[in-house]
Amino acid sequence: MAMSFEYKVTGGDFTRAGYASSQVKKMLKQLGVDNTVIKRVVVCLYEAEVNIVAHAWDGVISVDLNTDSIFLKLTDNGPGIANIEQAMQKGYSTASPEVREMGFGAGMGLPNISANADRFVINSEPGKGTTLEITINLNSNAV
Amino acid sequence: MKVTDIVEKLNLKIFSGHDGLGREVTGGYASDLLSDVMGHATAGSAWITIQTHRNVVAIASLRDLSAVIITCGEKPGDDTVSQSNEESIPVLGTDLPTFEIAGRLYSLIS
């Protein structure tokens, strides 16, 4: 049984930040997915969704439910990440002062994803955009 | 201990989310950094913060937190109130600063 879902995300629209994550959470609950897995999906998806809202112009989230894993792919049109290694460091952020005042932009988003994903790949082209691929296994209890 | 119990014992204001007052409070987390809460708060915790915007409710809902306690007499925005009502997550308030209300909540539930 494989299922796929897609959500659009608009850059800069913080009033809707977390909407896609919330929809995915509800769906996984309805499907009876283990709570530990849901928690990890929610952390990864929310952080990645907020990154699109905070940094990019727009993006698409796709969620694939497979028999043994959940695969999240987030593709955005945005400024891209010039130095991914630096972006992955805890505490490093390029968020604007306005975004930081809201309590976002603490440089914890990508590390949170990394800690909760079984597989996490970032591809980015400066000036064009960024793609995140996140896999969470249904049977693992990491974190 | 339920949200309604901590409201009474800590003398908290109830701004919104009345339908969630029966939620069980199993812990607490004090932070104003949203990713910190996302990554580290445990389900059932009451979140103590000075942040008042609606994303706070979104995170509380996503992480299954029991309530949000806004400190220093700050008040939630209108869209925070409406989202809190929709999600049935109580948004509470106190005039005390974060350190003091965190200490009192800790004594109450530990």
- The complex scores an ipTM of 0.92
Which residues of chain A neighbour B39 with C-beta distances below 8 Å? 43, 108, 111-112, 115
Which residues of chain B neighbour A106 with C-beta distances below 8 Å? 33-36
Q: Which CATH number fits the domain that encloses residue B40?
A: 3.40.1390.20
The residue type at A42: V
CA A93 to the chain's CA centroid:
16
Total structural domains in chain B?
A: 1
**pLDDT at residue B6, as a whole number:** 98
Q: How many CB atoms lie within 10 A of CB B8?
A: 10
Does the distance separating the beta carbons of B63 and A108 come in below 8 Å?
no
Tell me, yes or no, if the pTM score tops 0.90.
Answer: yes
> pLDDT of A51-68, one tens digit each?
999 999 999 999 999 999
> pLDDT of A74-133, one tens digit each?
999 999 999 999 999 999 999 999 999 999 999 999 999 999 999 999 999 999 999 999
How far apart, in whole angstroms, are the C-alpha atoms of residue B47 and residue B66?
8
Q: Please state whether A74 falls in left (phi above 0), alpha (psi between -120 and 50) or beta.
A: beta
Which residues of chain A neighbour B34 with C-beta distances below 8 Å? 50, 102-104, 106
Contacts of B12 (CB under 8 A, 6+ apart): B6, B69, B92, B93, B94
Residue of A129, A15, A125, A9 whose CA lies nearest to A63: A9
For residue B27, what are the domain limits?
3-109
Q: What are phi and psi of B19, to 5 degrees?
A: -65, -15
A140 pLDDT band, cuts 50/70/90, is: low
Does the distance separating the beta carbons of A25 and B62 come in below 8 Å?
yes
Contacts of A138 (CB under 8 A, 6+ apart): A33, A34, A37, A67, A68, A69, A70
Q: Residue B45 forms beta bridges with which residues?
A: B27
The answer to whether the CB of A130 falls within 8 A of the CB of A31 is no
Distances in Å between the Cα of A136 and the Cα atoms of A39, B68, B81 are: 11, 29, 33
Does the distance separating the beta carbons of B62 and A21 come in below 8 Å?
yes
The tokens for B61 are: 């809902």
The tokens for B77 are: 């925005």
Q: Where are the beta strands (DSSP E) in chain B?
A: 13-16, 27-30, 45-49, 67-70, 91-93
Q: Enumerate domains of chain A plus CATH numbers.
A: 3-137 (3.30.565.10)
> pLDDT of B51-69, one tens digit each?
999 999 999 999 999 999 9
Residue of A72, A46, A53 whose CA lies nearest to A136: A72
Residue B72 has pLDDT above 80, yes or no: yes
How far apart, in whole angstroms, are the C-alpha atoms of residue A10 and residue A49?
10
Does the distance separating the beta carbons of B58 and A103 come in below 8 Å?
no
Residue of B107, B108, B110, B103 whose CA lies nearest to B6: B108
- Distance, first Cα to last Cα, chain B: 11
